[in-house]
Amino acid sequence: MDIATILGVLSAFGLLGLAIFTQGNFAVFFNLNALFIVIGGTFGAVLINFPLKEIVKVFRVVKKAFIYKDDELLELIPPMVRYARMARKNGVLALDKILPEIDDSFLYEGLRMVVDRFSAEAIRDIMRNELTFTAERHRIGKSIFKTMGQFAPAFGMIGTLIGLIFMLRSLTDASQIASSMAVALVTTFYGAILANVIFLPIAGKLEERSQAELLKKEMTLSGIMSIHAGDVPRMVEQRMISFLPEEYRILYRQENP
Q: CA-to-CA distance for 78 and 75, rounded, in angstroms?
A: 7
Residue-wise pLDDT tens for the chain (257 aa)? 567 777 777 777 777 777 777 766 667 777 788 888 899 999 999 999 998 888 888 777 777 666 666 567 888 999 999 999 999 999 989 999 999 999 989 999 999 999 999 999 999 999 999 999 888 888 888 899 999 999 999 999 998 888 788 777 766 666 666 666 766 788 888 999 999 988 998 888 888 888 888 999 999 999 999 999 999 999 999 999 999 888 888 888 888 77
The closest of 86, 109, 106, 89 to 97, measured between CA atoms, is 86
Supply the angle between the helices 32-49 and 52-61 in degrees, to the nearest 10: 110
Of 219, 195, 206, the C-alpha closest to 141 is 206
Question: Could you tell me if 166 and 185 are in contact, meaning their C-beta atoms sit under 8 angstroms apart?
Answer: no
Length of the chain: 257
* In the chain, domain spans: 1-30, 32-255
Cα dist. 243→3, 72, 208, 212, 237 in Å? 24, 13, 16, 11, 11
Beta strands in the chain (DSSP E): none
The Cα 32–Cα 153 span in angstroms is 17
| Residue 45 contacts residue 196 (beta carbons within 8 Å) | no
Strands (E), 85-189: none
DSSP-derived letter for residue 108 is: H
Distance separating the N- and C-terminal Cα atoms of the chain: 28
**pTM of the prediction?**
0.78
Q: Rounded CA gap, 242 and 78, in Å?
A: 14
